[in-house]
Structure 1
Amino acid sequence: MTGKRTHTGMVTLASAAVLLGGGVIAANTTTKKVKAATTDYVKVLYAANLRQGPGLKYATLRTLNQGEAYKTYTTQQADGYTWYNLGGSQWVAGAAVEPGTGTPAAGSATGPTTTQTGWVTVNTAANLRSGAGLTYGVVRGLSQGEAYKYFATKQADGYIWYNLGGDQWVAGVAVTAGTGLYPGNGTSSGSNAGNNAGGGDPIVTPTPNQTGSVRVNYAANIRQGAGTSYAISKTLAAGGTYSYTAAQQADGYVWYCIGNNEWIASAAVTVVSDAASGGSGTSTPGNSVTPPANQTKVAAVIALAQQQLGKPYVWGGKGPDVFDCSGLMYYIFLNAAGVNIGGWTVPQESSGQSVSLNALQPGDIIFWGPRGNTYHDALYIGNNQYIAAPEPGDVVRIQTISPGFAPSMAVRVL
């Protein structure tokens, strides 16, 4: 976050974040194995990288969130830090955590991801999240009666979470889990592995309509077949409406055929009626209604923001490799739409038309704090989600608007 840059302690935290992100390697790069950890768990003080080994040279697996707590198994010294093992090849640096003894507070994560396979059936409509926990963004909704293979489990926020492939997790409160043969059709839970390149291929799902129209909500990849394993042939901008001539399930999505070997995933589109698509519903497959110029620019801004996901937060950063919140907004609007909105939050408040938070559209900038003294902003991308560079120690990522951290105003630049 950054506003008038009057924050105290930012430089210290940012420096620590760079160290944890691998930007600076300490002189002591040797790894020394020591005895088993004398602590029972560690609590995450702020967002930190979980690595494949005890040292900055190891690849990052994912980001741990502030407030989570994990059981520890052993420790090692490397690169000037004590590294805590959270199970298997999962390590976190001591600079980002606080060790503790006994049992972590209820509601926090209490263990590493456990590799396990089976199936889950959805008992009630549920959110599929990008990580194991309520703080992760919602990828899409799951419907009652669907069934999915799962590949791992994890405890977080008082639930068991099931991994449906890639960054797709569902809480156990909404599903029933089983192993071995799936009882609904008598086939093995791995029988559809051939269509499961991205994980999460549903075993049983409702059959989609085989013809109709879809409207593209976000810039989206067109693939040469129905699944994430197929090559990308082109990218569509948001706003177009397309007729589809076939639909099928793969990799956790419905895929719509909008042309010869041209398929688009349901995550980026909305199925529309003939009236909603302009009255005819007869657009030629592979050819869309031309979107307005501003929608094309919005799609370009969102696409450029998505390309920055995973890049580290550095206070004052304006790209292309590091960002703070307003620096990210400045970079994407300037480079994707050719609009200079100013370099920090307050001038960005006046970069467009004020809009109600109840009427947000993809491409709007949302702000936190009172007008004239905002301290954080982000790009709204629809479905109650936004892309932001959150804070020191974190990376650019997709987040979900929540009542506990709700924006105070919004501006429409395009």
Structure 2
Amino acid sequence: MSINKKYVLAGVVASSIMLHTGISTVFADTEYRVITGDSVNFRSGAGTNYSSIGKLNKGDKIEYLGESGSWVKARYSGKTGYVYGSYVGEYTSTNTKYVTATTLNVRSGAGTNYSIIGSLSKGTKVEVISTTNGWSKIKYNGSTGYVSSKYLSSSSTTSSTTIKYVTATTLNVRSGAGTNYSIIGSLSKGTKVEVISTTNGWSKIKYNGSTGYVSSQYLSSSASDNSTSTSTSVSKVISYAKKLLGKPYVWGAEGPSSFDCSGFTYYVFKNAANINLPRVSKDQSNYGTYVKKSDLREGDLIFFDTSGENDGNVSHVGIYLGNNQFIHCSSSKGQVVISEMSSYYTKAYVNARRVL
């Protein structure tokens, strides 16, 4: 074999080795880093004298290509450039965490001095992009946000909800925990709901793919809180009472075309539940079983002192409907109406009795 042929053969072997080496490099895992500063320059060369070809923000993931002195060579969005090393940190791949706080604020930056851009409820699953100084950058509403890392857990055991059942005929779902918040929907009796948390008599629930709030007193752990007969009687009383909405107030009247306040309750209970109440509100307030205001249920009779400053003397009566509402024949409105337990009626409230 001639010397030239030996060199040619050696070149082929060397090329083959390099080819295999190149293939192994192509299939090697790509290495990433993460940007740790805000609005960091992505420069065309390794120095501040080079022009900026773009800006990188905290949490941005860059492909690590090497280093040149204090500068990191990287690829981002199809561009190759350099980032000052002090603004580059180790990249941790996105991992799933679960919210452990009842309500966790999502902020625009990593600190309580940043504005709140939203919130997450207990048990919500989040994707964490990076974690720095006790704050986690997460994917949020198609973008990113920051939450305190101490309220995130790797385990989903903290995200469990409690199953409850609606005991009211109709239960309003509100946008917040209070009757001053707007009604965003309603639930019928027996509906199964997932309760996320409970605070000050209000339950935060899963509702229509989002969340809402309902009064906790109308939720039960049992699918049949009251006996069937009682539930049926309550439904009949309320349904019958609502059919009389708009009937005029006439003092001393007890139906069927007009009523005073106690005449209305007397007429409804007699015809809907075959219960003969005393005729006047003061006597009705001593009939049946005493009920604490915090334990009010649909169908309960509620009594007020509307004769001036509340000194406990009953002068008005209505039927509680749930959700802080009651139906009554109002002398001031001149007809049968449904009213909220507003500040006026709250101050005038005397007691309640259960007859069903």
* TM-score after normalising by structure 1: 0.33
Larger Rg: 2
Q: Relative to total residues, which structure has the larger helix share, 1 or 2?
A: 2
